[in-house]
Structure 1
Amino acid sequence: MFKKLLAAVGIGSAKVDTRLHQSRLLPGQQFEATIVVKGGDVAQKIDGIDLALMTKVKVSTDNGEYFKNHCLAKWRVAESFEVQPGEARELPFRAQLHPETPFTALPVRNNQCHVWIQTGADIDSAIDPTDADVVEILPTPVLEHVLNAMNELGFALTKADVEQGYLNAPSFRSRSGCYQELEFHPRSFGFSSLREVEISLVCDETETHLLIELDRAFRGDGYTAFSLANNASASEVLTKLKHYIR
Structure 2
Amino acid sequence: MFGKLKASLGIGAAKVDTVLDSMAVVQGGSVKGVVHIQGGDVEQQIDAINLKLCTEVKVESDNGVSYQEFILGQLQAVQPFVIEANQAKQVPFELKLHDETPVTALNALKNQCHIWLETTLDIDFAIDPKDRDYVEVHPLPVVSKVLAAIGRGGFEMVKADVEKGYLRGGNFSSKSGCYQEIEFRNGGFINKKEIELSFVLEGGWVHCLAEVDRSLGMRGDQYLSFTLSRDASDAEVHSAVSRVLAI
- TM-score normalised to the size of structure 1? 0.95
Work out the CA distance in 2 between the residues paired with 1:156 and 1:189. Answer: 14
Work out the CA distance in 1 between the residues paired with 2:198 and 2:27. Answer: 15
Tell me how large the CA RMSD over aligned residues is: 1.3
Residue 160 of structure 1 aligns with which residue? 160
Residue 187 of structure 1 aligns with which residue? 187
> What SS is found at the alignment partner of 1:144?
helix
Residue 130 of structure 1 aligns with which residue? 130
Gaps of 5+ in 2: none
Residue 201 of structure 2 aligns with which residue? 203
Which residue identity is paired with 2:126? A
Gaps of 5+ in 1: none
Please say if residues 28 and 205 of structure 1, whose CA atoms lie closer than 8 Å, have aligned partners that are also in contact.
Answer: no
Work out the CA distance in 2 between the residues paired with 1:158 and 1:171. Answer: 28
Work out the CA distance in 2 between the residues paired with 1:9 and 1:202. Answer: 43
Please say if residues 145 and 233 of structure 1, whose CA atoms lie closer than 8 Å, have aligned partners that are also in contact.
Answer: no
Within 5 A, what are the aligned runs for 1:32-47? 32-47=32-47
Residue 114 of structure 2 aligns with which residue? 114
Residue 24 of structure 2 aligns with which residue? 24
Greater shift, 178-187 or 195-204, is seen at 195-204
After TM superposition, give the deviation of residue 110 of structure 1 in Å: 0.3
Please say if residues 9 and 126 of structure 1, whose CA atoms lie closer than 8 Å, have aligned partners that are also in contact.
Answer: yes
Work out the CA distance in 2 between the residues paired with 1:170 and 1:145. Answer: 21
After TM superposition, give the deviation of residue 231 of structure 1 in Å: 1.0
Confirm or deny that 1:212 pairs with 2:210.
Answer: yes
- TM-score normalised to the size of structure 2? 0.95
After TM superposition, give the deviation of residue 100 of structure 1 in Å: 1.2
Alpha-carbon displacement from aligned partner over 1:196-224 (angstroms, at most 9, x marks no partner):
11112212231221111111222322111
Alpha-carbon displacement from aligned partner over 1:73-98 (angstroms, at most 9, x marks no partner):
01010121110000001111123111
State the percentage of identical aligned residues: 43
Residue 237 of structure 2 aligns with which residue? 237
Work out the CA distance in 2 between the residues paired with 1:244 and 1:41. Answer: 62
Residue 49 of structure 2 aligns with which residue? 49
Alpha-carbon displacement from aligned partner over 1:101-159 (angstroms, at most 9, x marks no partner):
11000011200000011101111111000101000001211111111111111111100
Alpha-carbon displacement from aligned partner over 1:9-55 (angstroms, at most 9, x marks no partner):
00000011111111100122133211111100001111111101111
After TM superposition, give the deviation of residue 195 of structure 1 in Å: 2.2
Greater shift, 99-108 or 25-34, is seen at 25-34
After TM superposition, give the deviation of residue 59 of structure 1 in Å: 0.7
